[in-house]
Amino acid sequence: MEKPGKRSWAEPYKIKMVELLKMETRPQRIKAIKEAGYNTFLLKSEDVYIDLLTDSGTSAMSDRQWAGIMMGDEAYAGSRNFYHLEKVIQNSYGYKHIIPTHQGRGAENILSQTMIKKGDIIPGNMYFTTTRLHQELAGGKFVDVIIDEAHDPNSEHPFKGNVDFNKLKAVVDKYGAKRIPYVCMATSVNMAGGQPISMQNLKELRAYTSKLGIRVIHDMTRVAENAYFIQQREKGYADKSIREIVKEICSYTDGATMSAKKDALVNIGGFLATNEWSVYEEARNLVVVYEGLHTYGGLAGRDMEAMAIGIGESLSDDHIRARIGQVEYLGHKMMDYGIPIVKPIGGHGIFVDAKAFLPHLTQDQFPAQTLSAEMYIDAGVRTMERGVVSAGRKSNGENYYPKLELVRFTIPRRVYTQAHMDVIAESIYSVYQKRNRIKGLKMVYEPKYLRFFQARFEKLK
């Protein structure tokens, strides 16, 4: 028998409970996606076989987290679980003041209302849908200052989440530092394909903004995944733990918004963090208007306990290695089949380049939306459009036309097995083989905000 070459890794957990899946027939799936207006957000979950819509709130909690759920202190004020969560966030991330929120966008709303005035400019390393909308609703304007490579699916730049200082300086020169309340810096940039920012770039960002008196606010939704890429790719970090790297990242920022539904391994929850007392005071005042008292912020005590425990688990090196290892396994399988994907492989999913996959469709025929629907029809795999539909419209009504027209195959944490990854790769290969015959879509219903969630489409004849 041949000796193994590179040794395999395996998940650092075993399975104690399973959730049974149902697989519909192809005609049933064709009917279901038509009824859903060719929008995977409008499918019923029970009609889905493998659900890669998002990694948000879809991860499997550990036995310890479930035990924490039983330890919920459901007091209206001053729940023991809040103080536990506060301590874990302060120790793990280093931020001083914490306000829990029901999820990430709750924190974005409060942050935007606290910091942004009408006419303000918020530079950021690529937009995120809910983040930008809250900035706009508060009267601000988002300006993209990410490096050009982030918009190129084929660029192999190891840190596509980096800020381009020429772009940032141009924004400062044009508008003046006084109109910039903060730079919105995301770790593991979602819309670029889960791409990391380097520690070096972040240090330079800190030095540059400090001189001008501009804050850095951290969208830390997937900070542990970013830390993994720093550990693997950046000089000087190979021997540092994920925990140490995460803490260093946070130390170069003034505050953060967090959707704990991703990295932190819970089904619901988020928080706003700040090192400034005055920001905390204002935000603490607003949270009671939108979320709930500042010691629960829209969460049950048990949710805060699960989050406190999940944060600890998310910072384990073994966890992150297996999590990103699984994403990379799927990515390499797709590349072996010749599928055009965003490179390098990102942290939370595989992003397929729909423009390259369906080159005969124009962006107005929604290639990514189309491919996402086709993936569901082929094998019941639910994915998400991240292209022109997600990008939405500018305040003047014009469509944003993003360079990236992607379908995201998002991998929930600790949920699916390697065999599921094989099924997904085989399914996309089968769709790829008949790509020339795939027709595009037209939008027949468009909601005003975040249209990708509820828009409806029909097949072009």
DSSP E strand stretches across 231-378: 255-259, 270-274, 349-353
Residue 259 binding ligand PLI, by CB under 6 A: yes
261 touches ligand PLI (CB under 6 A): yes
Query: Which residue, 260 or 361, is less far from ligand PLI as judged by CB?
Result: 260
Q: Which of residues 196-225 bind ligand PLI (CB under 6 A)?
A: 219, 221
Instruction: Compute the distance between CA of residue 34 and CA of residue 225 in angstroms, rounded to an integer.
Output: 36
Catalytic residue among 105, 141, 262, 333: 262
**Number of residues near ligand PLI (by CB under 6 A):** 15
**Active-site option among 29, 141, 222, 386:** 386
Active site residue 142: no
Contact status, residue 23 vs residue 46, Cβ threshold 8 Å: no
Scan for tokens 């330079």, then name that residue: 204
The binding track of 67-106 with respect to ligand PLI, each residue x by CB under 6 A or -, is: ------------------------------------xxx-
Q: Kindly state the smallest distance separating residue 258's Cβ from ligand PLI, in Å.
A: 8
Q: Are 74 and 302 in contact (CB under 8 A)?
A: yes
Instruction: Please state, in angstroms and rounded to a whole number, the distance separating the CA atoms of residues 42 and 36.
Output: 5
The verdict on 190 binding ligand PLI (CB under 6 A) reads: yes
Choose between 162 and 259: whose C-beta lies nearer to ligand PLI: 259
List C-alpha distances in Å: 83 to 76, 164, 386.
13, 39, 37
Is 128 one of the catalytic residues?
Answer: yes
Catalytic one of 47, 55, 120, 219: 219
Q: Are 122 and 143 in contact (CB under 8 A)?
A: yes
Q: Among 128, 142, 280, 351, which one carries the catalytic annotation?
A: 128
Q: Write the DSSP assignment of 195-244 as a string of letters.
A: BPPPHHHHHHHHHHHHHHT-EEEEE-TTHHHHHHHHHHHSTT-TTS-HHH
Cα distance between the two ends of the chain: 55
Determine the interface stretch with ligand PLI among 123-131, 162-170, 198-206, 368-376 (rule: CB under 6 A): 123-131
CB 252 within 8 A of CB 202: yes
* Interactions with ligand PLI, residue window 30-59 (CB under 6 A): 54, 56
What residues from 380 to 399 belong to the interface with ligand PLI (CB under 6 A)?
Answer: none
Active site residue 219: yes
Active-site annotation, residues: 76, 128-129, 219, 262, 386, 452
User: Would you tell me which residues interact with ligand PLI (CB under 6 A)?
Assistant: 54, 56, 103-105, 128, 130-131, 186, 190, 219, 221, 259, 261, 270
